[in-house]
Chains A and B, each alone.
Chain A
Amino acid sequence: MKNKYSVFSLIKNALSQHENWQQAWGNPEPKKEYDAIIVGGGGHGLATAYYLAKKHNLKNIAVLEKGWIGGGNTGRNTTIIRSNYLWDASAGLYDHALKLWENLSQELNYNVMFSQRGVMNLAHNLQDVRDLKRRTHANRLNGIDAVWLNTEQVKKFCPIINTSPDIRYPVLGGTLQRRAGTARHDAVAWGYARGASDMGVDIIQNCEVKGIKRNGDKVEGLETTKGFIKTNKIGVVAAGHSSVIANMAGLKLPLESKPLQALVSEPVKPIIDTVVMSNAVHAYVSQSDKGELVIGAGTDSYVSYTQRGSHNIVEETLKAILELYPIFSRMKMLRQWGGIVDICPDASPIISKTNIKGLYFNCGWGTGGFKATPGSGDLFAHTIANDEPHKLNAAFNLNRFVSGDLVDEHGAAAVAH
């Protein structure tokens, strides 16, 4: 690490009025040719480049970002991290990511503010109770911590929840994963960018991909707004715009892109020290370190690339929030925004080769990709470097939509990730 961050560097820079901090990552012009190019400078893309350079010894790599790094869904999500998924394949994938999160600040020498404050999922009807209990058993068989809480235990864990039996969707219990939590989303992108840049990865911002050049069944390079760049390995991590890039290569993906919204309130004193999610009423809430309530809403039901989303979706979420947390009734919401999420029919991601040689896709994370950032980057880097999936992402291939071997997480993850 060229400029290691430490208490000593902090003191040293304080003495010079913090005017001599160096840029955390470079701002190069693209070279003519790279060994591998990652399309998309969000958390997943930057993590992919980082692990390609670190673990697979590929140094001549570029990350192309059409805007600025972390300006897409990385900076728009509600920062929830958990791994309590139902199926074995998902449990393996998301818990791999969670284990990397636990050491990420040290790994990157960058404080990603990972906070294992726990994530609680509420049950509001008997089917929820059965499903969530089944999920805790499945989690524990996979070595993932999970406990079932009854209504009194839910109330004790998070006292501001309205557990009255008279509300429209009463709280009948919930599950808790204590190792789960949140992290600072921008810091993840910045930390990976810094780490990758340090190992020689070119991070090229304001560079939009306009076309993929193919020679028969293999890729030869990318047409971009900064000219043609030659490469024979392209890893696409473009989230909501994955289909747009796929169409450039004449490929169709099993994805639909939809706006997903979130909002934050005015900052207040600490009131909720965990993350509470409810799939049935579609509301989830946590509190940022600045004191804002961070609230996740649902997706619109139609394909759209508008990055805003409909007002009625926010209204429904806030109704549910108010019933569960009457104490928030006079809170003012400060900001609302949307991001475009690419949703797979089975609500599981795709980390896969394609039938075009040298073209790889990491997409379909839908409404819950942030939590997987380190694991996704690690496994995608492995897939690109070896032209073979790692055993943890083998199930998340594109061919599962042909074979029928889907990883159906709709039941376990529902809409809220």
Chain B
Amino acid sequence: MFLINCPFCGERDQSEFSSGGEAHIVRPKQPTELSDDEWAEYLFMRKNIKGIQFERWNHVHGCRKWFNVVRDTSNDKILSVYKMGEKPPVNYK
């Protein structure tokens, strides 16, 4: 349980948000060309990182907008919040 600083609404309780999982998984440009392995990689395989993870959140009980978050999954500390389409901050790897 933690607070998330929604870039549109400000700081709100985590229970107002829905987690969209790992961020920056690019939707395949030509789905018909994809092999089964590539589909599996896109649909199912996840880094599931213990540590600094880039992820998507949706303020589902608020503005209903999507945005990105950098969070340390070992202690739930949020390190950065940035909007969809923006480049991820480079100081976290």
On whether the beta carbons of A311 and B46 are closer than 8 Å, the reply is: no
Residues of A within 8 Å of B36, CB to CB, are 402-404
Given A310-B14, A311-B1: A253 touches B45 (CB 8 Å cut-off)? yes
- B37 located at the interface, meaning its Cβ lies under 8 Å from any Cβ of chain A in the complex: yes
| Least distance between A246 CB and chain B CB atoms (Å) | 8
- B21 located at the interface, meaning its Cβ lies under 8 Å from any Cβ of chain A in the complex: yes
- In chain B, positions 28-82 with a C-beta closer than 8 Å to chain A are 36-37, 39-41, 43-50, 53, 55, 73-76
| Least distance between B57 CB and chain A CB atoms (Å) | 8
Given A312-B1, A402-B37, A403-B36: A255 touches B46 (CB 8 Å cut-off)? yes
Interface on chain B toward A: helix, strand, loop, or mixed SS?
mixed
Contact partner, B48, options A256, A306, A311, Cβ 8 Å? A256
Contact with A along B7-22 (1 / 0, CB 8 A): 0000000110011011
Which range contains the number of A residues in contact with the other chain? 20 to 34
Residues of A within 8 Å of B45, CB to CB, are 252-254, 401
- A301 located at the interface, meaning its Cβ lies under 8 Å from any Cβ of chain B in the complex: yes
Contact with B along A299-312 (1 / 0, CB 8 A): 00111111001111
On whether the beta carbons of A256 and B21 are closer than 8 Å, the reply is: yes
Residues of A within 8 Å of B15, CB to CB, are 310, 312
- In chain A, positions 394-417 with a C-beta closer than 8 Å to chain B are 401-404
Given A310-B14, A402-B37, A403-B36: A305 touches B50 (CB 8 Å cut-off)? yes
Residues of A within 8 Å of B40, CB to CB, are 254, 401-402
Residues of A within 8 Å of B47, CB to CB, are 243, 247, 252
On whether the beta carbons of B1 and A255 are closer than 8 Å, the reply is: no
Minimum CB distance partner of B48 in chain A = A243
Docked Cα-Cα span, A83 to B73, in Å, equals 33
- A241 located at the interface, meaning its Cβ lies under 8 Å from any Cβ of chain B in the complex: yes
| Least distance between B58 CB and chain A CB atoms (Å) | 11
Contact with B along A110-140 (1 / 0, CB 8 A): 0000000000000000000000000000000
- A257 located at the interface, meaning its Cβ lies under 8 Å from any Cβ of chain B in the complex: yes
| Least distance between B28 CB and chain A CB atoms (Å) | 15
Minimum CB distance partner of A406 in chain B = B44
Residues of B within 8 Å of A257, CB to CB, are 48, 50, 73
Residues of B within 8 Å of A303, CB to CB, are 19, 21-22, 48-49, 53, 55, 73
Residues of A within 8 Å of B48, CB to CB, are 243-244, 253, 255-257, 303, 342
- Could you tell me which B residues sit within 8 Å of A by CB distance? 1, 14-15, 18-19, 21-22, 36-37, 39-41, 43-50, 53, 55, 73-76
**In the A-B complex, the 5 residue pairs with the closest CB atoms:** A243-B48, A254-B44, A302-B19, A310-B1, A252-B45
- Could you tell me which A residues sit within 8 Å of B by CB distance? 241, 243-244, 247, 252-257, 301-306, 309-312, 342, 345, 401-404
Please give 14 more A-B residue pairs, beta carbons under 8 A apart, in addition to A243-B47, A254-B40: A247-B49, A252-B45, A253-B45, A253-B46, A255-B48, A256-B46, A301-B19, A302-B19, A303-B48, A305-B74, A306-B73, A310-B15, A312-B1, A401-B43
- In the assembled complex, 28 residue pairs joining A and B whose CB atoms fall closer than 8 Å, in A order, are A243-B46, A243-B49, A244-B50, A253-B45, A254-B40, A254-B44, A254-B45, A255-B48, A256-B21, A256-B48, A301-B18, A301-B19, A302-B14, A302-B55, A303-B19, A303-B22, A303-B48, A303-B73, A305-B74, A306-B73, A306-B76, A310-B15, A312-B15, A345-B43, A401-B43, A401-B45, A402-B37, A404-B36
